[in-house]
Structure 1
Amino acid sequence: MNWNKPLPQPTPISAPFWDGLKAHQVKLQRCEDCGQWVFFPRAHCPACASTQLAWRTVSGEGTLYTCTVARIPTLPEFTDEMPQRLAVVELDEGVHLNTTLVGLDDAQVRIGMRVRPVFDERPGTITLLRYTGTDSDHPAVITAHAQPEPAAPAAQAPAARRRQISCKDLDAMRALVSETYSGWSDSIQVTQALIDQFAELSGDDYWLHTDPVRAREESPFGTTIAHGALVQVLMSRLKVPMDYEITGFNNMVNYGSDRLRFPTPVPSGCHIHARYRVKAVERVKSGVQVTMEFNIHVVGQDRPSVINDLVVLYM
């Protein structure tokens, strides 16, 4: 299971909380002197300053105190999880904890609703605490092997035969021009290993692409990013949906790009997918020239990472 996001680092004080989650239990500290429930984990009671704190297992249930929908990632590694429902839950013991909601749509979320814990196992030794509605059918445990791959293509019936359009039929070709983009392609992950391979092949081994430690400390993106040229060429691995096939030509030539832009970075570990539209069709001396605008996005991002107006010549 590839995992590119930061995970909590337990300390001697907080370790019992994380160990409890790993065992699918919610554990809180309780002051033995004044009875105060304590969260986040601490060395002393915030009410009476006693150091007599004991860990107790609780149900983890509570009510939704507040919630917001985040559409811009707080860190680049979370771009493929947008949008996120960030929430504060008030447990029955009175403490508040920050979490994210799962298994709920917008119409189901309301302040004050009863919620229950969901134990989200992550690669390694950490389990995270999510929440869902007590009436939700979402499972109580998300196992590590069940983590969803963003935008994974659903199983589909065999594709219908694509309509045939002759490149010599200029009216039919021009009818393909549209302001509307196609559906999304399948997705692929841009791993650090893939970035390193491209760096070796191209000779562009700038630290922003190849040094995760330095990038985390010095880069404005907080992590390494893929070369724009790498993301561009990965277009050939993405299968965008087309319901037509151009026929009637002897040769088809990739004539270049009218425009090529890299508006937003692709952080290492993110998934990308693409869509397209036919932007222009014109007759030229040697045949019919078609300009197709391909946009490659990080999954979950509205703004594209690559905009390529690709010109194809049918002769």
Structure 2
Amino acid sequence: MSIKEYSIATIDSLVGRELGVSDWVVVDQARIDAFAACTGDRQWIHVDVERAKRQSPFGGTIAHGYLTLSLLAALAIEIGVIPKDAAAGLNYGLDKVRFMTPVKAGARVRSRVTLISVEKKGGGLIVKTMNELQIDGEEKPALVAEALAMLIA
């Protein structure tokens, strides 16, 4: 977490600020294959390395879009999107997701998170963040997503 004063008490004052950037994570073929096995999405462009080398416009296999999206939760926790003084942080959904650039097998990605809004709801807060999943060496991100979390104080 790059903002030391980030807490339930101060969260409203931090809207519009970057909360942090995660470490790099490698999206290797083993991770792609495990995701394919878990979800049943075994499309050749993800799992058939030899065919993808021959026929893919990307020169090899690429990660599933939903695999890259699923990385955001763990990377947000690494950054510290759930304040330490929150009793719990729950996934509340997504408002907008756009897949911008395919992630090639072996690429490194990281997440950059900015706090967009905070709204009181019931006994908690709905926190909206902009998450940009960056690809090492690429100009455009893999994806951008507005993610929602319910913070329980």
What TM-score comes out, normalization by structure 1 length? 0.43
1:26-84: CA deviations, max 9, x gaps? xxxxxxxxxxxxxxxxxxxxxxxxxxxxxxxxxxxxxxxxxxxxxxxxxxxxxxxxxxx
Give the structure with the higher percent helix. Answer: 2
Unpaired stretches in structure 2, ≥5 consecutive residues:
none
Which whole-Å CA distance do the structure 2 matches of 1:236 and 1:164 have between them? 18
1:83-108: CA deviations, max 9, x gaps? xxxxxxxxxxxxxxxxxxxxxxxxxx
1:274 equivalent among 96, 105, 111: 111
- Matched AA of 1:192: Q
Which whole-Å CA distance do the structure 2 matches of 1:160 and 1:294 have between them? 15
Q: How does 1:38-77 map to 2 (within 5 A)?
A: none
1:196 equivalent among 19, 24, 33: 33
Is the 2:19–2:115 contact (alpha carbons within 8 Å) kept by the matching residues of 1?
no
2:22 counterpart residue number: 185
1:299 counterpart residue number: 136
Which whole-Å CA distance do the structure 2 matches of 1:244 and 1:232 have between them? 18
Asked which structure has the greater CA Rg, the reply is 1
**Deviation of residue 269 (structure 1)?**
0.9
Which whole-Å CA distance do the structure 2 matches of 1:290 and 1:160 have between them? 17
**Deviation of residue 289 (structure 1)?**
1.1
1:165 counterpart residue number: 7
1:170-190: CA deviations, max 9, x gaps? xx3221111x53443111211
Distance 1:174 1:222, change over 3 A: same
1:221 equivalent among 58, 61, 64: 58
Is the 1:191–1:268 contact (alpha carbons within 8 Å) kept by the matching residues of 2?
yes
1:205 equivalent among 42, 46, 49: 42
Which whole-Å CA distance do the structure 2 matches of 1:204 and 1:231 have between them? 14
Distance 1:190 1:287, change over 3 A: same
Distance 1:277 1:164, change over 3 A: closer
Which whole-Å CA distance do the structure 2 matches of 1:173 and 1:240 have between them? 18
4+ runs of 1 displaced by more than 6 Å? none
1:146 counterpart residue number: none
Across the aligned residues of Structure 1 and Structure 2, the Cα RMSD in angstroms comes to 2.7
Is the 2:20–2:114 contact (alpha carbons within 8 Å) kept by the matching residues of 1?
no
- Matched AA of 2:24: S
Which whole-Å CA distance do the structure 1 matches of 2:26 and 2:101 have between them? 16
SS in 2 for 1:280: strand
Is the 2:22–2:111 contact (alpha carbons within 8 Å) kept by the matching residues of 1?
yes
1:142 counterpart residue number: none
Is the 1:162–1:245 contact (alpha carbons within 8 Å) kept by the matching residues of 2?
no
1:143 counterpart residue number: none
1:152-178: CA deviations, max 9, x gaps? xxxxxxx99943623xx4xx3221111
Distance 1:260 1:161, change over 3 A: closer
- Matched AA of 1:309: E
Distance 1:287 1:192, change over 3 A: same
| Higher RCO (CA 8 Å, separation ≥ 6 residues) | 2
2:67 counterpart residue number: 230
Which whole-Å CA distance do the structure 2 matches of 1:305 and 1:160 have between them? 23
2:98 counterpart residue number: 261
Unpaired stretches in structure 1, ≥5 consecutive residues:
1-158
Aligned residues, how many?
151
Question: Identity over aligned residues, as a percent?
Answer: 32
SS in 2 for 1:260: strand
- Matched AA of 2:129: M
**Deviation of residue 314 (structure 1)?**
2.2
